[in-house]
Amino acid sequence: MKEYNTPFVIAEIGCNHKGDFEIAKEMIRVAKIFCKVDAVKFQKRSNRELLSKEQFEAPHPNPINAYGDTYGEHREFLEFNIEQHRELKEYCEEMELIYSSSVWDLTSAREIASLNPKFIKIPSACNNNYPMLEWLCANYKGEIHVSTGMTTPQEISLIVDLFKEKNRNQDLILYNCTSGYPVPFKDVCLLEVSKLKNKYAKSFKQIGFSGHHLGIAVDVAAFTLGASVVERHFTLDRTWRGTDHAASLEPAGLRKLNRDLWAVYDALSYKEKDILDIEEEQRDKLKFRTDF
């Protein structure tokens, strides 16, 4: 019996569609047909709820990545409404691909929950929004995936306790994550996967890993440590305008990641017997003889 769950790979499209609905649908097609992932994930924000008037009207901190004159206009340009998300979910279902979205506020949580996706993601920035977490626990029946970037151990314990109190920890997927774009390898801190797994044991459904690093080697190591859900930002072109593209995988990289995770899954086992069938012929031909 396998000790590891099969890998579950999520292509986080997020806002890498550049606010273009047709690009979003193209990314769904590529993620499914070429990359062969299990799910795609978008983002939903109610920017007037999330941002103060000053934040909304402030200039984007990195104008070269801006899609509007102010940060609020930039965020609004990249936002799909709930009917567009409904259409994206239907399109995913036509493609036999799982749709999901991160939610950044209570209004967005209610909207996305109304679509009844298989899972909803809570980004690191919002994992201390307890009214939102409590509402989801009470009103949404699917899996709730929670990232733990920029979150203290005490804050993580509060999140796990909340899910246990609401009797929803069986639907909790807890992600190791470092919030940076991109993240240097020394700051990925992969052993946090083992720490989460050991500390909380049976207090969640699975461990996940949300990576913002370069390349795909780290994700394979995270899976080996026990993170069976692997999420990576996905783009069609890393040179596109926007803050997430540089820390995203292009189609070839995401396809290779999925391939490598399944190869490692197949390899993670003990020998069923001392000498495997594949070794018998080589043993007879090459093994040093001791029966002279």
pLDDT at 289: 80
| Banded pLDDT at 200 (limits 50, 70, 90) | very high
pLDDT at 267: 95
Residue 69 has pLDDT above 60, yes or no: yes
How many angstroms separate the CA atoms of 157 and 139, rounded?
A: 22
- Tell me, yes or no, whether 99 lies in a domain: yes
What does the pLDDT average to over 184-190?
A: 97
- The answer to whether the beta carbons of residues 228 and 7 sit under 8 Å apart is yes
How many angstroms separate the CA atoms of 234 and 136, rounded?
A: 26
How many angstroms separate the CA atoms of 90 and 32, rounded?
A: 14
State what percent of residues in the chain have pLDDT above 90. 84
pLDDT at 210: 97
- The answer to whether the beta carbons of residues 10 and 118 sit under 8 Å apart is no
Q: What is the pTM of this model?
A: 0.94
- pLDDT tens per residue across span 213-223: 999 999 999 99
pLDDT at 263: 97
| Banded pLDDT at 3 (limits 50, 70, 90) | confident
- Tell me, yes or no, whether 3 lies in a domain: no
Give the type of residue at 6.
T
- pLDDT tens per residue across span 4-42: 899 999 999 999 999 999 999 999 999 999 999 999 999
- pLDDT tens per residue across span 136-186: 999 999 999 999 999 999 999 999 999 999 999 999 999 999 998 889 999
Any idea of the CA torsion for 169, 172, 176, 178, to the nearest 10 degrees? -110
- Tell me, yes or no, whether 80 lies in a domain: yes
Nearest to 175 by CA among 133, 122, 224, 139: 122
Give the type of residue at 188.
V
- The answer to whether the beta carbons of residues 88 and 41 sit under 8 Å apart is no
DSSP code of residue 204: S
- Tell me, yes or no, whether 27 lies in a domain: yes
- The answer to whether the beta carbons of residues 257 and 249 sit under 8 Å apart is yes
State what percent of residues in the chain have pLDDT above 70. 99
pLDDT at 217: 96
Nearest to 197 by CA among 178, 173, 171: 173
CATH of the domain at 169: 3.20.20.70
Residue 292 has pLDDT above 80, yes or no: no
pLDDT at 193: 97
pLDDT at 62: 84
Tell how far CA 261 is from the center of its chain: 15
Range from 84-88, 126-130, 222-226, 245-249 carrying the lowest mean pLDDT: 245-249
pLDDT at 125: 95
- The answer to whether the beta carbons of residues 42 and 85 sit under 8 Å apart is yes
**What is the β-pairing status of strands 227-233 and 172-177?**
unpaired
How many angstroms separate the CA atoms of 190 and 230, rounded?
A: 13
- The answer to whether the beta carbons of residues 251 and 236 sit under 8 Å apart is yes
Nearest to 174 by CA among 152, 198, 195, 148: 148
- Tell me, yes or no, whether 292 lies in a domain: no
- Tell me, yes or no, whether 291 lies in a domain: no
Nearest to 101 by CA among 57, 154, 69, 145: 145
| Banded pLDDT at 63 (limits 50, 70, 90) | confident
What is the token pair recorded at 136? 């989801």
pLDDT at 1: 56
- Tell me, yes or no, whether 2 lies in a domain: no
What does the pLDDT average to over 55-60?
A: 91
What does the pLDDT average to over 230-241?
A: 93
pLDDT at 154: 97
The residue segments making up the domain with residue 15 are 8-286
- pLDDT tens per residue across span 124-142: 999 999 999 999 999 999 9
pLDDT at 241: 83
How many angstroms separate the CA atoms of 256 and 96, rounded?
A: 20
- Tell me, yes or no, whether 271 lies in a domain: yes
Say how many domains are in the chain.
1
91 Cβ contact list (under 8 Å, min separation 6): 25, 28
